[in-house]
Structure 1
Amino acid sequence: MKIYGIVGWKNSGKTGLMERLVTEIVARGLSVSTLKHAHHHFDVDQEGKDSFRHREAGATEVLLASGRRWALMHELRNQAEPPLADLLKKLSPVDVVLVEGYKRDTHFKVEAHRVETGQPLIALDDPTIRAIASNEDLPDMTVPVFDLDDTKAVCDFILSELGL
């Protein structure tokens, strides 16, 4: 599987760009999966539901299945967070895996950047960032800069980088 990342500070437009890229990649006839890193406590389960109760009772893994989808929840129970490479092995094969976050990992990335956040560009100190998608002109950058809303151009760049 080929992977490519989307990184950026909070409220930089990462998730919106990811969503639009998934739609664009699928429209081009390719299969795509996503992997998102969360820096905070999160829960995909609902309190009171059977699967939630199983986890709360101490189950390490709970697999929830129906005729439409299945989801596997794994509680780390004080174990270290697994590295990205280990998580990627859990995905079924697809043409492209888009990774949101994991800005310190070594895979190639596009940085989403909004001037309103007031945050500095990550690309200035990170050679794994191969392009920037921004809502402001950045004429002095050494990597390509795309309009944050130009999904087609960002997608063209990523797929070209991946040889697809």
Structure 2
Amino acid sequence: MEKSQAASRIAPLEPPYTPELEAHFDRIMPPGVPPLLLFRTIATSERAWRKFSAGSLLDRGPLSLREREIVIDRTCALAGCEYEWGIHVAIFAERARLTDAQVRATVLEAADAACWSDAEQALIAAVDALHHHTTWKETEFAALKRHYSDEQVLEIIQLCGFYRTVSCFANALALPLEATAARFPV
């Protein structure tokens, strides 16, 4: 995807927003930070925004912040979505205690890269399998279950699917990269 485009394929909403939409943006964005281009573009359709925001994965779940971000970063990297990957790395990588090598590995390394723990390797292998095959072999599932509960496994599946959809939005709409977002390593 060409990254030098100045505008999205669908023009995003510009302020002022409706009070309802403003309140929703305020709930999901850090204080004082304007809503992301992705959100403002999807919100041009009330139906699309309602369905997108109903995914309810913009909250804390049964995974740690670190595990959640590994799933999201890997999913976005596999989908070639520098837009969303870069936002998550810029905002969450340090808080999730991801090293520079680990951030790089989400894009450039195999699941068994030495920078990951055994549990994280199983997690990344599970993300990879869902991306490539939309299922797990029994050995992949067994490796995942050694480290994660049923509730966590369901969250992993939902995160992979949701962020694959986010990647489809960002890539298909050719969203320009956010100025403060990280860039894919080379």
State whether TM-score is above 0.5: no
Which is richer in strand? 1
Which is richer in helix? 2
Using the size of structure 2 for normalisation, the TM-score is 0.25
